[in-house]
Amino acid sequence: MEENPKTAHVVMNIKKKSIYTSRDLSDRGFEESAPGSFPFRRGPYKTMYTKRPWTIRQYAGFSTADETNAFYHKALKAGQRGLSVAFDLATHRGYDSDHPRVAGDVGKAGVAIDTVEDMKLLFDGIPLDKVSVSMTMNGAVLPVMACYIIAAEEQGVKPDQLTGTIQNDILKEFMVRNTYIYPPEPSMRIVSDIMAFAHDKMPRFNSISVSGYHMQEAGATPLQELAFTIADGLAYLEAARAAGIHVDDVAPRVSFFFAIGIDFLTEVAKLRAARELWAMLVKERFSPDNEKSLMLRMHCQTSGWSLTAQDPLNNVVRTTIEALAGVFGGTQSLHTNSYNEALSLPTDAAARIARNTQLILQNETGLCQTIDPLAGSYAIESMTTDMVSGAMDMIREVDKMGGMVRAIEQGMPQRRIQQSAASRQAAIDSGDEVIVGMNAYRSDDAPERDVFDVDNKKVLEQQISKLDHIRSRRDPGTVKRALAAVMEEARGDHPAGSLLERMVDAARARATVGEMSAVLEQVWGRHRAGQSTVTSAYRKSYKKRAEFMELVDEVEAFARREGRRPRMLVVKLGQDGHDRGARIVASAFADIGFDVDLGPLFLTPAEAARQAVENDVHVVGVSTLAGAHKTLIPALIEELKKEGAGDIAVVAGGVIPEKDGEWLKKKGVLEIFGPGTGIPAAARSVLQCISVGGKGNTDR
């Protein structure tokens, strides 16, 4: 069947037909199954939502622990049933708030947690034996988990009473999200260590949540997200087996985390296929005795990438459609994004609408009265089967490479996801993919946008003050001995020991997250990944369109006039590892004809300025998503001046509220490219910047 050219890119690899019939099922050997029975296509439980609806679990965390705690109390009072913690980037990367590399990141994209005292404040007044807690933490998972256990202990709650999930999914960090700390091999040791500890002492707590969400947010197609996520899950079971843990002791507590994009039918099929794939592959490879080892349970979150800064109220509709897909797909818990998250952290009003979206679905629509209501649909069942088949092909390819760890080391999933991201962005910029209110059907009205801002300097001062207070009151000798025990464990001096157990002792002594992380870094080092880009996605998408080729000609004219091509350094500053935008910009500008350098992740402003000078660039393009732009970008401009390179132009793109954009321009940023800016338009603007006042006019 012929695809609609305006939507073909959305499913990518799984082609939708314009009509499905009963033959699509009979020809594929479709066999009907029941909810709660192998292979669990229709859901992991027999009764699903008819007895208990999905858990409303809003992801939240910002500024300080006390501010986030106040938000949690309001959310629980408003009907939320579980808490989901977003940590700031300093915490993710294992730095204390007073570390010089994280000055712009503290409290900006999540809550700052430096010690047990922060964790206690985060859950003050919240009974941890009754409220389920999900924590999105991977890099600094050991010290954060230790702080949580001690915070509960000092609340009178034992580890075996705790319920919830720790993400503990390091493989996807090496693929897309980049909040890793240590190299892959010791990082996998951490994963299995936590699984073993949880099995022994936290039987009600999920020790790992295998996440595909960040893959789709980084540009993966739904099929890629499905295949690579299941492959990651299998790799973790293999790691557990290698550590001597039986599959039935870990698999029943493994959960999964998927993104829900805007392609409704594809996302429903993906979730149903995930359960079937997991059941079949775990049965085949691990031969469990407990049927619960075959049951894939999942949390889902609506897409953040699909949210637009233009006409942001349209995002309420997008989020509702995505939430419906999660429900029809049979998720066990759900987070709905707030409509203004393309602009800033959610405001209270936006967060309330997001939460109420789920409450309306649960209480007003009748959706909880029928299990898997789309079952038997010719389209849904056929697409589910196609998803299973397509993902199986990708998983076999990973197997041939030696498994997911080897595939990641060779860069295969990273390259595939980058190519998909670049191709999709090119389709949006060229108009082949319609985004209502952004590249089509735009409104001339520009309503006032309410944004939430965190005072980074205030949070930083508060966290440093708390750290100073705790360090002055604790017993230095006890801390030193506890950290030495962590180091011994990391070195392997006690083969049967537990890293998390030693971390719990250190947290009890009031060692900080940064101190505990630094001990492991001394033993294992800090991982540094290489940067690469894909090519030709933009040229293929535009296919000799006049406006694109005119831009290419302008770049060629610049090169003839100046004796070299316009040169751009694309950077991320601070600890923000979400590099989809930076990679796409680098790839697209290179396709247009720029010489492009893609800087390594986690640069300080001084390091970025030094690289700009060494590479003799005309312009530095800063990609920013985590809210640290008001601190880090002015610092970059000052560092360029110190290097005697004040003539290097600075432009910025990403999640930058309009008022912040105007402020940044006063500080010396030449152009601001907000969400939804077409890359060809941005490239022309950058070319004009460096032709009019930057190095394009200097004789070098």
For the chain, the domains span 167-365+377-410, 538-690
Question: In which band, very low, low, confident or very high, does the pLDDT at 699 lie, cut at 50, 70 and 90?
Answer: very low
Tens of pLDDT, residues 444-478: 776 656 666 667 788 899 999 999 999 999 999 99
Tens of pLDDT, residues 132-184: 999 999 999 999 999 999 999 999 999 999 999 999 999 999 999 999 999 99
What distance separates the 2 farthest-apart alpha carbons in the chain? 74
Token pair of 647 as six digits: 């003539």
Strand order in 132-136's β-sheet?
Answer: 205-206, 164-166, 132-136, 82-86, 55-60, 333-335, 297-302, 254-260, 208-211
Tens of pLDDT, residues 75-121: 888 877 788 898 999 999 999 999 999 988 998 888 999 999 999 99
User: Whose CA is closest to 521, among 65, 61, 237, 99?
Assistant: 99
Q: Give the percent of the chain with pLDDT over 90.
A: 73
Most confident of 129-133, 292-296, 488-492: 292-296
pLDDT score at 693:
56
Question: Across residues 376-393, what is the average pLDDT?
Answer: 96
Residue 294 has pLDDT above 90, yes or no: yes
Q: Which residues lie across from 665 on neighbouring strands?
A: none
CATH of 538-690, one of 3.40.50.720, 3.40.50.280, 3.30.465.10, 1.10.8.640: 3.40.50.280
CA torsion 559-563-565-570 (nearest 10°) is -140
Secondary structure, 3-state, 472-507: HHCCHHHHHHHHHHHHHHHHCCCCCCCHHHHHHHHH
Question: Environment class of residue 638 by beta-carbon count within 10 Å: exposed (0-12), middle (13-18) or buried (19+)?
Answer: middle
Question: In which band, very low, low, confident or very high, does the pLDDT at 360 lie, cut at 50, 70 and 90?
Answer: very high
3-state DSSP assignment of residue 641: helix
| β-strands 619-624, 164-166 pairing | unpaired
- The answer to whether the beta carbons of residues 627 and 109 sit under 8 Å apart is yes
- Distances from the Cα of 597 to the Cα of 41, 333, 634, angstroms: 46, 41, 21
Which string of b and e fits 267-286 if b means at least 16 CB within 10 Å?
bbbbbbbbbbbbbbbbeeeb
Contacts of residue 409, Cβ cutoff 8 Å, sequence gap at least 6: 184
Token pair of 147 as six digits: 């702080």
- pLDDT averaged over every residue in the chain: 91
Tens of pLDDT, residues 576-622: 888 988 999 999 999 999 999 999 999 999 999 999 999 999 999 99
Token pair of 5 as six digits: 């050219």
- The answer to whether the beta carbons of residues 247 and 284 sit under 8 Å apart is no
**Which amino acid makes up residue 559?**
A
Question: pTM higher than 0.85, yes or no?
Answer: yes
Comparison of pLDDT for 497 and 197, the residue scoring more: 197
3-state DSSP assignment of residue 302: strand
Handedness of CA 210, 10, 394, 26 (dihedral sign): positive
Residues involved in catalysis: 59, 213-214, 572, 576, 578
Residue 692 has pLDDT above 90, yes or no: no
Tens of pLDDT, residues 300-326: 999 999 999 888 999 999 999 999 999
Alpha carbons 240 and 234: distance in angstroms, whole number: 10
User: Whose CA is closest to 176, among 418, 463, 392, 532?
Assistant: 418
Could you give phi then psi for residue 177, rounded to 5 degrees? -90, -30
Residue 328 has pLDDT above 50, yes or no: yes
pLDDT score at 450:
65
CATH of 167-365+377-410, one of 1.10.540.10, 3.40.1390.10, 3.20.20.240, 3.30.56.10: 3.20.20.240
3-state DSSP assignment of residue 187: helix
pLDDT score at 496:
67
Q: Which residues lie across from 651 on neighbouring strands?
A: 621, 671
What's the distance, CA 79 to chain centroid? 26
Place of tokens 């601190």: 631
pLDDT score at 539:
76
Length of the chain, please? 700
Comparison of pLDDT for 126 and 59, the residue scoring more: 126
pLDDT score at 5:
40
Element holding 83 (H helix, E strand)? strand 82-86
Residue 1 has pLDDT above 50, yes or no: no
Tens of pLDDT, residues 233-268: 999 999 999 988 999 999 999 999 999 999 999 999
Q: Which of these ranges, 142-146, 519-523, 624-628, has the smallest mean pLDDT?
A: 624-628
Comparison of pLDDT for 222 and 244, the residue scoring more: 222
Residue 298 has pLDDT above 60, yes or no: yes
On the question of a common fold for 167-365+377-410 and 538-690, the answer reads no
